[in-house]
A = this chain, B = another copy of it.
Amino acid sequence: MDTSKEIAVGIDIGGTNSRFGVVDGNGKVLEHDRFPTSTYPKAEGYVRAISRKIKEVLKKYEAYTFKGIGVGAPNGNYFKGTIEQAPNLPWKGMISFVDMFKKQFDERVVLTNDANAAAIGEMMFGGARHMKDFIVITLGTGLGSGIVVNGDLVYGHDGFAGELGHTFVYMDSGRKCGCGRQGCLETYASAQGIKRTVFELLAEKTRDSELRGLSFNEMTSEDIFHAAQNGDRLAKQAFDITGQYLGMKLADAVVFSSPQAIFLYGGLAKSGNLILNPTIKTFDDHVMAIYKGKVSILSSELNGKQGAILGAAALVWKQRK
């Protein structure tokens, strides 16, 4: 079957903007665009409008077989096709997102959360093409994870598996987490996490740093990345500490599924070796002997590409068996 003649639409829903694109079966993004999310106070209105836009775009691709639409969304539930209580989206409660799309399209519509979509994308179009057991860690505002076991994404009995960001670095202590508990990995290893580490270091150390000029509200993980690239020692130390937390908890995570590789994807992962090196070193120092030397920690091959769109589109081809 010539999959280069098949296309799917991938939609990556963010709080302010969505991004969508037309992807062929070989992982080529034929075109992509943005679409506002926050403009639509109701999900129905959003789905109607973006569907219109997609139908418009698809007219150019009549020579292709259109396979369907894949959606990656925060708190997306694969089984129910719903987006549930997503804190950063304008639509509250439980949104029957797939049902809304099915009123517009006869083809397959598949939805899952953004980290699961990233894992499916890695398996279909990225570095996990020949792997059956691997994990993708998304380092965005929070820390998400998509886990693949024996070629299938792990959804769990309710569709909510894969929340490695909410394993404990510290039990009953440590940083307060958005989930209501304390000490979760994502409060240390994520864009927000590294900023919190920088603020701890700014408080503890007397060392000069260009980050001393930015407020908590102003500072982004890009600022920390650029400071580290400029040789700012405090910023580099923040990356080291972040990698140490991450490496330690990844050593804990591999005992579950003995994966061949762990891919780091997303904003913070784009910092490359700044985050990879301390993560790998700490992982190697702590992983159980039977896994040593068997698990590669890699930067996602979809970083810097239209990864979120590719992952969402890949859902259409990689349906659960």
A203 within 8 Å of B (CB atoms): no
Closest to A177 in B: B288
* A260 surroundings in chain B (CB, below 8 A): 157
Whether A155 lies near B288 (C-beta < 8 A) is no
Whether B256 lies near A161 (C-beta < 8 A) is yes
Which residues of chain A from 141 to 170 have a CB within 8 Å of any chain B CB? 147, 149-150, 152, 154-164, 166-168
Whether A258 lies near B179 (C-beta < 8 A) is no
A248 within 8 Å of B (CB atoms): yes
Distance, CA A132 to CA B167, complexed state (A):
23
Q: How many copies altogether?
A: 2
Whether B163 lies near A288 (C-beta < 8 A) is yes
A172 vs chain B, min Cβ distance (A): 8
Distance, CA A172 to CA B251, complexed state (A):
12
Whether B163 lies near A255 (C-beta < 8 A) is yes
* A172 surroundings in chain B (CB, below 8 A): 286
A250 vs chain B, min Cβ distance (A): 12
Q: Mark A185-218, 1 if CB is under 8 A from B, else 0.
A: 0000000000000000000000000000000000
A86 within 8 Å of B (CB atoms): no
Q: Mark A228-251, 1 if CB is under 8 A from B, else 0.
A: 000000000000000000001001
Q: Which of A155, A166, A253, A260 has the most CB of B within 10 A?
A: A166
Whether B258 lies near A157 (C-beta < 8 A) is yes
Which residue of B154, B180, B258 is within 8 Å of A256 (Cβ)? B154
Further contacts, 11 of them, CB under 8 A, given A147-B257, A160-B291, A167-B255: A133-B161, A149-B154, A149-B161, A154-B256, A156-B257, A158-B294, A161-B257, A162-B255, A163-B288, A168-B252, A168-B286
Chain A residues in the interface with B (C-beta under 8 A): 131-133, 147, 149-150, 152, 154-164, 166-168, 171-172, 179-181, 248, 251-253, 255-260, 286, 288-291, 294, 320
Which 7 A-B residue pairs are closest in the complex by CB-CB distance?
Answer: A156-B258, A161-B258, A163-B255, A133-B157, A157-B260, A167-B252, A160-B258
